[in-house]
Amino acid sequence: MGSRGRTYKEGLWLGVVTLWLGVAALGTAGWGALLVQRPADIEIALHDHGDALPDSREMSVEGMPDGMVTIRTVAVFRRQDGGLIREDVEGTGIVLLGTYIVTPARFPSTRQVERPTPLGSLAEPAEKLSERSVLLLHGREVPLDRALVDESEDVLVFRVPAGLRLSSFPYPIGNSDDLRPGASVYVMGNSLNSGITMREGIVGLMPPQDLGTSVRPEGIFVISPVLSPGEDGRPVVALHGRQLALVGLTRATTINAQRMGWAVKLNTILGLIRDMEAREQARDVLVSQSRVP
């Protein structure tokens, strides 16, 4: 029995020594090859599906409140009995290129008086008399001029008022056409200027026509889980490598008591802005040529 115990102990020590010698022979480089590859060494595709960690150094939110602004639209209606109704709507817009404030076209424009019901909104017959939009900034209202409205793309662009300097949204611009179903996205908010929030979602598969919108399907993408009413105009970001990039602008609504939501692609918004600037440049050239004697 003692001989068997010694044989077992000797075999155990021999195994430990052999393992130690093997590790020593493997060396530092060989041992590193056995470790899990670090995220920084992995090549990450554009707009990943959430299987990579973003670089925390590229997620600064200090400048984000300045790049997100609050827009208030006030509309006045006359009811059939002659009474006046004032409708106030507030929502979010983002500052792009230091020159424009962008928001969904259907958010700030109050087309009719609507009353909420358990089955959705019910329109009240009324004539629209006036409407104006203002930027809420440091306790004051700054009038806004519309530069572009495209309801087929659900895009409204205001010009930053002259003499007013606003910071653009701090994240770089991503390629929203590269988004695929299942890709992770983050909806960002700054409700009541109470702090930055980030809500994770994924790009969904629901056809845009099921959202009750007539916007061009190629210009939007669906977000799951669904958005809540009041989340219009919020920036949507996605991973670009290990960095977050701006890819869209939210639009939320309720249809038949169902909450629905999507995002207008940033590529769509930028394309409309470029076309508008090209038209304005061509117009300026014609005006200058007409003044030449």
| Tens digit of each residue's pLDDT (9 = 90 or more) over 214-254 | 678 788 888 876 676 667 788 999 887 767 889 999 887 65
Q: Give the model's pLDDT for residue 37.
A: 37
Specify whether the CB–CB gap between 195 and 202 falls below 8 A. no
Specify whether the CB–CB gap between 207 and 220 falls below 8 A. no
Q: Above 60 in pLDDT, residue 23?
A: no
- Considering the entire predicted model, what is its pTM? 0.72
CATH numeric code, 56-272: 2.40.10.120
The first and second tokens of residue 290, run together, are: 């007409």
In angstroms, rounded to a whole number, what is the distance separating the alpha carbons of residues 192 and 13? Answer: 68
135 Cβ neighbours under 8 A, 6+ residues apart: 69, 70, 71, 101, 141, 142, 143, 144, 158, 161
Which residue, 116, 126, 130, is CA-closest to 81?
126
Surface-to-core class of residue 249, CB atoms within 10 Å of its CB (0-12 exposed, 13-18 middle, 19+ buried): buried
Percentage of the chain modeled with pLDDT above 70: 63
In angstroms, rounded to a whole number, what is the distance separating the alpha carbons of residues 132 and 89? Answer: 11
Surface-to-core class of residue 178, CB atoms within 10 Å of its CB (0-12 exposed, 13-18 middle, 19+ buried): middle
pLDDT digits (tens, 9 = 90+) for 107-130: 655 667 777 676 666 777 888 888
pLDDT digits (tens, 9 = 90+) for 30-67: 434 333 333 333 333 445 444 455 555 556 666 677 78
